[in-house]
Structure 1
Amino acid sequence: MDKKTLEFVTYCISKLSDHLKMPQTEVFRRLYESGILYNYIVPSYDVLHTFSSRYLMEDITDFMREEGVL
């Protein structure tokens, strides 16, 4: 994972933590264990990083719900 992608993943976890009112460690655990982190967020960086923060949070939380993570 390159530096830009790592920074984006960190940003996503931080924003999701605020959005979901959940500790960052719990957000990371759910994303990692479900495979969303390495099967969706990381490979989709080129597209996802162009989204607004609000849309990004909606997109990821919708995906988390679809996968039964939330």
Structure 2
Amino acid sequence: MNNEAMEFVVYLIHACANKWNKSPKQVYRKMKEAGCIDKYLVPNYDILHTQGSNYLVDDIKKYLAIRGVMI
């Protein structure tokens, strides 16, 4: 994972935590459990980083729900 992708993932963890009223640690665990970071965010960084924060937070929520991970 390059530096830009890592900063992007950290930013999204905090954005999700703020929107969902969870700690960044809780959000990281949920995202990691679902493979969201390694299988979705990092591989698709080039496309995803051009999207808005609200869209991405909602998209991550859907990704987690499809994989049975409840927020």
Global fold match (TM > 0.5): yes
Q: SS of the counterpart of 1:17? A: helix
Paired residue total? 70
Identical pairs, percent? 36
Output the CA distance in 2 between the equivalents of 1:13 and 1:3: 15
Q: Which residue of 2 aligns with 1:3?
A: 3
- Tell which deviates more after alignment, 6-15 or 54-63: 54-63
| Greater than 6 Å deviation, 4+ residue runs | none
Gaps of 5+ in 1: none
- Mapping for residues 1-70 of structure 1, pairs under 5 Å: 1-70=1-70
Counterpart code for 2:26: E
* TM-score (normalizing by structure 1): 0.93
* TM-score (normalizing by structure 2): 0.92
Q: Name the structure, 1 or 2, with higher relative contact order (CA <8 Å, separation 6+).
A: 2
Cα deviation for residue 14 of structure 1 reads 0.3
CA RMSD of aligned residues (A): 0.8
